[in-house]
Amino acid sequence: MRLAKLLLPACLLPVLAAAAEPTQVPDAALATAEALRERALADDTGWKIVESLTTEVGPRLAGSEADARAVAWAQAKFRELGFDRVWIEPVRFPTWERRSEHAAVLGENAQPVVVTALGGSPGGTVEAQIVRFESMEALQAAPAGSLAGRIAFVDFDMQRTRDGSGYGKAGAVRSRGPSEAIRKGAIGYLMRSIGTSPHRVANTGITRFDEGLTPIPSAALSLPDADQLARLLARGPVRVRLALDCGWTGAEYTSHNVIGEITGREAPEQVVVIGAHLDSWDLGTGAIDDASGVGITMAAGRLIGQLPQRPRRSIRVIAFANEEQGLLGGREYARRHADDVTNHVIAAESDFGAGRIYGFSTSAPAHADAATRRFAQALTPLGIEHMPGKGGPGPDITPLAAVGGAWAWLGQDGSTYFDLHHNADDTLDKIDPQALAQNVAAYAVFAYLAAEAQGDFGSAPKQVATP
């Protein structure tokens, strides 16, 4: 393997953007973007799209019967909105089903508690004493075997933040907590929901069990119920029955990324990607996660399509399949289009609810600074601040960025996002139509200016060294 080692430094050389001519946004494009912005603010297309998806399809768990209806809905909606090309690309994955879920405290304080199974959890009924941990670290520190015959209960309290950073810190409790509990001997797993809602609703979300472990029933408690268990534990030992009927069905399902395109007049092969994910969890109607993103990006594409002439490059709006169970649509899109990453001029995903956008940044290199500043100039009247170095690609754009695609961040105020995220309260009534229109305006301005720009934003194949 010495040869491979010798070759490694060459493989790691960064791909230099050819000549790095400054990227420019023509004055006429800026004027059109400003008019587009004002039109978007007075337009309710985004709202109507969200209303249609959440009402006609409702919840659309990946691989469920509603997944197929959502794919059909998205194709029909793109056509109705006047997109030039509409097509689908298959995405295959295993299916998980939720059938029923119950939990109750047993014994002298017997009472039901509200839980929801984590996506990926097996079914099963367990009755055992619960052992509470204040954090993932505390669970990790428990001696091996110390939870034999017990149910682990991780009671980590997520912080409410504008940028969603509280979710990042809490994420491991759901993604890695069950596997950690199994290693300590636990027969069941309960966690305080990763959420900020004071309501008696529990937040689901995907979990994964490490190879070689036998999965255990794993569920999230509503915040008031997590508090209730903590108070009962302060009085003495608590036994809980957790009864889940859910699990991987063993069947494979084929869903689709649904794509609508406004075809560019000069360089149609070069595309500006905006998008959101079409699937949702099953407890609410997936309004803020992520019908809002679908509405925002479809409406932005439609507004650009209504201009007297087509933009220079194409606008590609993608409704991604199965984001919730592991970015499966986003990964498949990047795999299928990796050879064409240079033509993916820049990409942005709306997947953080329906709150107003407050910040903007891109991954673009220095030679695109003048163009990026023009984007910022057109976004300023929407209350959006240029925040270089902040943010990142949306989840479904991450795989495209990993193969070298440039990305933009249009950061939404997520202060109330986790009141609704992945729980039964994620319904249409929570969306403010004015805030949604501000999002549409920002996406229309961004996508249009990127499509009219002369020059690149740094998309280039990323060479990854193979060990």
Nearest residue to 343 via CA among 256, 258, 265, 273: 273
Distance in Å, CB of 424 to Zn ion, minimum: 16
Q: Give the other-Cβ count within 10 Å of 78's Cβ.
A: 23
Distance in Å, CB of 58 to Zn ion, minimum: 16
Distance in Å, CB of 26 to Zn ion, minimum: 35
| Contact by Cβ (8 Å): 286, 60 | yes
396: DSSP letter:
G
Of 180 and 289, which has the nearer Cβ to Zn ion? 289
CA-to-CA distance for 239 and 227, rounded, in angstroms? 15
Q: Is the peptide bond preceding residue 290 cis, with omega within 30 degrees of 0?
A: yes
Specify whether the backbone of 58 is left (phi greater than 0), alpha (psi in -120 to 50) or beta: left
The DSSP bridge partners found for residue 101 are: 244
The residues of the shown chain that bind Zn ion, judged by CB under 5 A, are 289-290, 351
Of 50 and 151, which has the nearer Cβ to Zn ion? 50
Distance in Å, CB of 352 to Zn ion, minimum: 8
CA-to-CA distance for 428 and 51, rounded, in angstroms? 7
Distance in Å, CB of 66 to Zn ion, minimum: 16
Of 290 and 425, which has the nearer Cβ to Zn ion? 290
3-state secondary structure at position 2: helix
Nearest residue to 412 via CA among 360, 377, 448: 360
Number of H helices, E strands in the chain: 13, 14
Distance in Å, CB of 62 to Zn ion, minimum: 12
Nearest residue to 416 via CA among 350, 351, 355, 349: 355
Instruction: Give per-residue burial for 190-220: e unless 16+ CB within 10 Å, then b.
Output: bbbbbbbbeeebbbbbbbbbeeeeebbbbbb
Distance in Å, CB of 354 to Zn ion, minimum: 12
Of 183 and 430, which has the nearer Cβ to Zn ion? 430
DSSP string, 336-362: HHGGGGGGEEEEEE--S-SSPEEEEEE
3-state secondary structure at position 466: coil
Task: Quote the radius of gyration of the chain (alpha carbons, Å).
Answer: 24
| Segment (H or E) for 232 | helix 223-233
Of 101 and 290, which has the nearer Cβ to Zn ion? 290
Distance in Å, CB of 171 to Zn ion, minimum: 13
Of 205 and 247, which has the nearer Cβ to Zn ion? 205
Distance in Å, CB of 323 to Zn ion, minimum: 6
Nearest residue to 178 via CA among 209, 211, 138, 204: 209
Task: Check the CA dihedral 105-151-101-421 and report its sign.
Answer: positive
Distance in Å, CB of 274 to Zn ion, minimum: 15
Of 61 and 453, which has the nearer Cβ to Zn ion? 61
Both structure tokens of 226: 């997590």
Of 351 and 452, which has the nearer Cβ to Zn ion? 351
- What lies within 8 Å, CB to CB, of 16 at 6+ separation is none
Of 196 and 342, which has the nearer Cβ to Zn ion? 196
Of 416 and 463, which has the nearer Cβ to Zn ion? 416
Of 155 and 351, which has the nearer Cβ to Zn ion? 351
Distance in Å, CB of 59 to Zn ion, minimum: 13
